[in-house]
Amino acid sequence: MGDNLNKNIGKRIKELRISKKMNLHTLAIKCMVTKQYLDQVEKGNIKPDSELLIDLSKNLNVSLDYLITGSEPSANIPKNSILFSNKNTRILSENLNFEDLVNIYTNILSD
């Protein structure tokens, strides 16, 4: 599952980067990684760490939800709540801080 998830995340990163008319070198500089490293992330060969995911979401102007899952949170979920899905487990947490969110996503990616 991890390999497919990494490939899907990489594909979304590349699609978003291209849609914003940003080349690989520019995005790599903004995220403080090498062009070669980001290229491997886009190809799904490397799992991005939480810090890079945060930088990518900020620089590509998308949520971590979209970057990782390909969709935004449901409109039915209260604004201060975040829904996570990992296999058959669903977690609804209110008032998570950003660091908690990143830790949860990192755990999902490592499964």
Alpha-carbon distance of 55 to 94, in angstroms, equals 23
Which pLDDT score, from 0 to 100, does residue 101 have?
A: 65
Give the integer Cα–Cα distance in Å for 104 and 45: 21
Domains of the chain: 2-110 (1.10.260.40)
Q: pLDDT tens digits, residue range 21-50?
A: 999 999 999 999 999 999 999 999 999 988
| DSSP-assigned states of every residue in 40-97 | HHHTTSSPPPHHHHHHHHHHTT--HHHHHHSSPPPTTS-TTEEEEEETTEEEEEES--
- Give the pLDDT score at 89: 39
Instruction: Report the alpha-carbon distance of residue 21 to residue 91 in Å, rounded.
Output: 36
The pTM (predicted TM-score) of the whole model is 0.66
How many residues make up the chain in this entry?
Answer: 111
